[in-house]
Copies of this chain bind each other. A is one copy, B any other.
Amino acid sequence: MTGIRRLAEALNVSIGTVSRALNGKPDVSEETRKRVMEAAAAMGYVPNQAGRSLRKGTTGVVGFMMQSGSQITGEGDVFFMSVFDGVQAVLARHQLDLVVLLCSSEEDPDAYLQRVVARGFVDALIISATKRHDHRIDYLAERKIPFIALGRSLTDVGHPWLDLDFEGMARTGVDRLVAKGHRRIGAFAPIDDTNLGFVFIDSYREALERHGIAFDPDLIFRSFPNDRGGHEIGERIAAMPPDRRPTGFILTNEMLTVGLYRGLYDCGIRPGADFAIIGRHSTNSQYLNPKLTCFYLSLRDLGIELAESLLATMPGYAEHYPLGVVRRVVPLELIEGDSDQPLSNPPV
């Protein structure tokens, strides 16, 4: 007896229903789909993939390309795992598998992507860490491989993308610190040509100028997006002449916050008392003392939207997700903490 027939008998539904449920067709109730998927998993039922691939010309695999390497994620990742969770929840509806494609920071992302595409085991791709100009976007578009970018880029082929609202973080962060009396406001930027750095710094500069504060390049602190980078920024701040130092700081990367707190403490500067910080929410940051004022978004929801927006562009799935080409900036919510107190020790 074939697996699909056995499943239908066990569940007392038709073979057609099982097939439609397994193939993610819309005319199956969520409850039935769930029962079929669970029973299939329990029975270890594997659709004949080779047959499916030949018929559909697909592999059933979606790749998520992210950068790895000790300078990027070597000390742990607190962002992507939650995003993956959301992506997986959507792909599971269609029996698609998510594989994570780790591009080492020592490797050229363009060459890596070309190799992955040549290996031919992914139907579609999610790319992240988009650069100011990103050749991967041209490459995938030319080859007509469905993809979505997590992050904007000046390279624009009319492709779908989602990005965090770096403009909003810059604006809200600057407005908030200025309202609390700060005039020398520092900011983090990535060390490379990741697009988000440009977007953030442009908006930060505009927000400052709106308050009549001149942009000072010495207040932009670049580092790798990890804990050690945060610690070094703390030390660099402490080493500046007191009248040149920032009195407040905006961080858009969650990996730096714990290190920045520690770096400042180690140099005798107390976050929240001597120095104001607005950062990004993460599991780590929520245990900081004083409590971090931070920008929050649900990373799982971001993953869900990424996957649904990708499927919306893929033949065979688009009908379930009539979203068009999604190009959206996702807003973040400010959670008030105690780390961005008013300026108490004005510089000499």
Contacts and interface: CB of A to CB of B under 8 A. Distances in A.
A92 to B, nearest CB: 7
A99 B103 CA distance: 10
A43 B60 CA distance: 30
Describe A's contact surface by its main secondary structure. mixed
A45 B110 CA distance: 10
A23 interface: no
A61 B101 CA distance: 10
A70 B82 CA distance: 7
Interface footprint category on A:
35 or more
Contacts of A49: 115, 118-120
Interface stretch (A72-80, A173-181, A207-215): A72-80
Interface string A53-81: 00000011101000011100111111101
B107 A92 contact: yes
Interface in A283-300: 283-284, 287, 300
A162 to B, nearest CB: 19
A102 B100 contact: yes
Contacts of A108: 41-42, 44
A111 to B, nearest CB: 4
A337 B26 CA distance: 57
B97 A61 contact: no
A33 interface: no
A104 to B, nearest CB: 5
A114 interface: yes
A282 B283 CA distance: 14
A85 interface: yes
A110 B48 CA distance: 16
Given A76-B81, A78-B75, A104-B88, A262 B282 contact: no
A251 to B, nearest CB: 16
B46 A111 contact: yes
Contact of A97 (B50, B119, B284): B119
A73 B259 CA distance: 21
A61 B117 CA distance: 12
A283 B227 contact: yes
A188 interface: no
Contacts of A78: 75-77
A169 interface: no
Contact of A44 (B70, B74, B84, B110): B110
A79 B78 CA distance: 11
Interface string A112-139: 1011101111000000000000000000
27 contacts: A41-B112, A42-B111, A43-B111, A44-B111, A44-B114, A46-B111, A59-B121, A61-B121, A68-B85, A70-B85, A74-B82, A75-B78, A75-B81, A75-B82, A75-B283, A76-B81, A76-B284, A77-B77, A85-B104, A88-B104, A92-B107, A97-B119, A98-B102, A99-B99, A99-B100, A258-B287, A262-B287
Given A43-B111, A74-B82, 9 more contacts: A61-B119, A74-B85, A77-B78, A85-B104, A92-B107, A98-B102, A99-B99, A100-B102, A119-B121
